[in-house]
Amino acid sequence: MNPHTLSLRLERVAAQVPAGARLADIGSDHAYLPVALMRRDAISTAVAGEVALTPFHAAQRTVRDNQLQSQISVRQANGLAAINASDKITAISLCGMGGETIRDILDRGQAHLSGQERLILQPNGGEQPLRQWLMENHYRILFEEVLRENRFFYEIIVAERTGPVTYSAEELYFGPLLLQSRSPMFLAKWQRLLRERQKTLSQLTGARQAVPEQKVQDVARQIRLITELLA
Ligand SMILES: C[S@@+](CC[C@H](N)C(=O)[O-])C[C@H]1O[C@@H](n2cnc3c(N)ncnc32)[C@H](O)[C@@H]1O
């Protein structure tokens, strides 16, 4: 992958960034997403935020190699601290991190949000707690997608702050829009997860050492939910 050829995952994320956006890509690593979008003239400006030094340097290098220093500001910062009000950011992408990590970045960084930004989120697992945070903070989910690249399934969640919104436990777990559309890719993801959860449950119940009952119950509850979905 490079800024000329994005992975399918980042290509699908790129498709959700509104034309002409002022983008903040947080956890940008090599800054492939903002650089690819800028090279296509798809966005007007970007901030690439990165907390860790090595990926921060990689982002600086990609931006420099593409001579985009005047359009993309690379900043070493924790989460949304990379964003200033004067950036007038209109879209924030947080991709390739666990859903809980993305949730924590959003929660800790609320002071940096105007509430007008489109959030384009691509969690690697932990979608349920992320959707819970979106609901609790009045973000409506406008678009969801499941895709498979190599052996992995990925979800993309796009949300905007529109006012109070209520999602059921099933909608938070599976995704309100994914649940409605029940695409073949969505069903394939949950068929695989069902097999994985069943394996986990049999390992837990067969374990020699005591396993917290709460954990067993949680996995059993997930199996019930997924079985009902696929019935
Ligand atoms: C797996 S990479 C994903 C890179 C890119 N967003 C993508 O989807 O291909 C996750 C990056 O997020 C960065 N990261 C994790 N927590 C962060 C935080 N609190 N603030 C900024 N960056 C963070 C990591 O250092 C890492 O470079």
What's the predicted TM-score (pTM) here? 0.96
Q: CB-based contacts of 95: which residues, under 8 Å, 6+ apart?
A: 9, 10, 13, 25, 27, 33, 120, 121, 122
Alpha carbon of 87 to ligand 1 centroid (Å)? 20
Give dist(CA 159, CA 132) in Å, integer.
Answer: 12
- Final residue of a domain: which of 112, 132, 165? 165
Strand partners, 129: none
Tell whether ligand 1 has an atom less than 6 A from the beta carbon of residue 123: no
Task: Note whether residue 170 is domain-resident.
Answer: no
Mean of pLDDT values over 86-104: 98
Task: Assess whether the C-beta atom of 144 lies below 6 angstroms from ligand 1.
Answer: no
Count up the domains in the chain and report the number: 2
Mean pLDDT for the chain? 97
Task: Measure 95 CA to ligand 1 centroid, in angstroms.
Answer: 7
Same domain, 92 and 134: yes
Task: Return the closest-CA partner of residue 37 out of 113, 93, 108, 119.
Answer: 93
pLDDT in tens, 19-59: 999 999 999 999 999 999 999 999 999 999 999 999 999 99
Q: Is residue 171 part of a domain?
A: no
Q: Are residues 103 and 144 in the same domain?
A: yes
Please tell me if the CB atom of residue 26 comes closer than 6 angstroms to any atom of ligand 1: yes
Please give the pLDDT value at position 210.
Answer: 87
Assigned domain for 178 exists: no
- Among 136, 165, 194, the domain boundary falls at 165
Domain span including residue 22: 8-165
